[in-house]
Amino acid sequence: MELKSLADPQPRQVARDRMVREQIIARGVKDSHVIQALRKVPRHEFVPESEREEAYEDHPLPIGFGQTISQPYIVAFMTEALTLQPHERVLEIGTGSGYQAAILAQLVDKVFSIEIVESLAQRAKETLIKLGLINVTVRAGDGYQGWPDEAPFDAIILTAAPAHIPQPLLDQLAIGGRLILPLGKTVQKLMLIRRTQEGLRKEELLPVAFVPMTGEAESAPLPE
């Protein structure tokens, strides 16, 4: 999806190029499509005005309501791990600022994103529209149950950490689909799950620290 052309001062493009070179490529991300998406999407548009000077630094930033925009490297790492193809449909749980959805929108035909904080969902929707990213559909709600009306999905990404993997999300993953999520309460690990004809294959990728997944994820019983 082509981004709408916005006035983007040269220093910000220079900062974005440096971010990609020093934080993304230097740390091992190789997918040229992911790299190009990180180079194009204006991360400063997804953070509060007070945080814009830090928009291209190598750390998360607060976006209000106790939520954060993820570190650029983690966004790139998780996106690359999904090995996305242009024709695919992706579900994101935890829209937050909308930045991860904007990156995904550069890579696939359709992105569906759910945000439990209604004010954040509305702000993200407005930012994505401003950037011309019409292939992203955002709704406010609890992402634990996924988006059954639009399932199955080729890929699902969670940007908040549940204590266990929500079964509805596994059920909405297509054969050949990939699910990536931070998993755990006090100690979290990034997990990649693939659905094959034979069942689920789980892979632990790296330790992470995300905000906890709220809503039904907090009270849902652990799977047997």
Catalytic positions: 70
Residue 138 CA neighbour count, 13 Å, CB half? 29
* SS3 of residue 76 by DSSP: helix
Helix pair 32-40, 10-19: axis angle to 10 deg: 150
* SS3 of residue 140 by DSSP: strand
Six-digit token string for 222: 């652990």
Beta-strand pair 89-93/153-158: parallel
Exposure letters 114-139 (e unless 16+ CB within 10 A, then b): bbbbeebbebbbebbeebebebbebe
